[in-house]
Amino acid sequence: MDSITQAKLERQRAFSRRENHDRPVIGFTGSYFPTDTTRMLRQAGPHLTPQDVRVEAFVEDCEAQYAAWRDCTGDLFWTASPLPGFFRWLCGALGQPLSIRSDNIWGEPFLSDYAALAKLAPREDNPWLEALRRLTDALVARSAGRYPVAVAALLGPLSVLAELRSPTVLAADLYDHPDGVQEAMRLLTEWWVKLVTEHFQRLPQWHSGYTNSTRYLWAPGPIVEFDEDSSFMFSSRAHQRVVMPHHRELVRHIKYAFIHLHSTQLHTLDNLLELDGLAAIELTPDYGASIPDLIPAIARVQAKKPVIVHGYLTAEEMRLVMERVPPEGVCLMSRRDTPEEAKRLQEEVLG
- Residue 168 belongs to a domain with what CATH number? 3.20.20.210
pLDDT of 105: 86
Percentage above 70 pLDDT, the chain: 98
Nearest to 86 by CA among 140, 123, 38: 38
pLDDT beyond 70 at 33: no
Whether 37 has a pLDDT exceeding 80, the answer reads no
Q: What's the CA gap between 333 and 198, in Å, rounded?
A: 29
Mean of all residue pLDDT scores within the chain? 94
- What amino acid is encoded at 40 in this protein? M
Does residue 312 register a pLDDT over 80?
yes
pLDDT in tens, 107-143: 999 999 999 999 999 999 999 999 999 999 999 999 9
C-beta of residue 277 within 8 angstroms of C-beta of residue 248: yes
Q: How many domains does the chain have?
A: 1
- Is pLDDT at 35 greater than 70 in this prediction? no
- Whole-number pLDDT of residue 104: 82
User: What does the angle CA 222 – CA 227 – CA 233 come to, to the nearest 5 degrees?
Assistant: 160
Q: Taking phi first (over 0 means left), then psi (-120 to 50 degrees means alpha), and beta for anything else, what does residue 145 get? A: left
Digit-coded pLDDT (tens) for 223-259: 999 998 888 889 999 999 999 999 999 999 999 999 9
Residue of 168, 133, 130 lying closest to 152 (CA atoms)? 133
At 84 the pLDDT is: 83
Query: Is a pLDDT exceeding 70 seen at residue 32?
Result: no
pLDDT exceeds cutoff 70 at 322: yes
- For residue 40, the model assigns a pLDDT of 80
More confident residue, 121 or 286: 121
**pLDDT computed for residue 86 by the predictor:** 83
Domain span holding position 250: 3-350
Q: What is the pLDDT of residue 36?
A: 67
How confident is the model over 169-207, as pLDDT tens digits? 999 999 999 999 999 999 999 999 999 999 999 999 999
Q: Is the pLDDT of residue 164 over 90?
A: yes
